[in-house]
Amino acid sequence: MRCPHCGSIDDKVVESRTLANGEAIRRRRECERCGYRFTSYERTEDSQFMVIKKDGRREPFDRGKIERGITRALQKRPVSTMQIESLVNDIEDKTAIFSKGSREIDGKVIGDLILEQLSVLDKVAYIRFASVYRHFENLDEFIQEINILGGEQASGTP
């Protein structure tokens, strides 16, 4: 595997982990030339499961799209790259579990999984993601979502 930092093809695998119910392997690699660490993924070339969009269209599941959305929501927040990667892995695993059998999953299920994870990880990122995902159009919708989020937090305290 070519190092994205220096271009060398000499690397060693530092850690391997199975993802998506055994359908993928995540490998942490270290370049033997420059010491840069990077991640690679191995997946079988099986027919991907499809995401059913709001308008009824179907498109292939795209892990990168989820990662970009989460990264954008967490921009300038005190959350590490490893936490983001772990979050995306968890969502990918849960998505694969929910889609089993039909090889399809409703896009709403994925969006709700992301919101659920972000509500635990970072409330500001949750609101950012929710505002795009739920298409907030005015301040009242923001306030309503913040009140719901605050209510969840308040209900958990004695």
Q: Is the pLDDT of residue 157 over 50?
A: no
Confidence bin at 37 (pLDDT 50/70/90): very high
Among 116-120, 125-129, 147-151, which is the least confidently predicted range? 147-151
Residue 136 phi, psi dihedral angles, 5° rounding: -60, 135
Is the pLDDT confidence value at 6 over 50?
Answer: yes
Give, as one character, the DSSP assignment of residue 74.
T
Rounded to an integer, the average pLDDT of 123-136 is 88
The pLDDT of 105-117, averaged and rounded, is: 93
CA distances (Å), origin 12, targets 3, 21, 29: 11, 25, 6
If you search the block for the tokens 């609101």, which residue do you land on?
127
pLDDT digits (tens, 9 = 90+) for 40-87: 888 765 557 889 998 999 998 888 999 999 999 999 999 998 899 889
Long-range residue pairs from 109-114, CB within 8 A, at least 24 positions apart, any chain? 110/51, 110/66, 114/66, 114/69, 114/70
Which contiguous run of DSSP H or E holds residue 137?
none
The pLDDT of 25-34, averaged and rounded, is 92
Please give the pLDDT value at position 115. Answer: 93
**Cα 68 to the chain's mean position, in Å?**
8
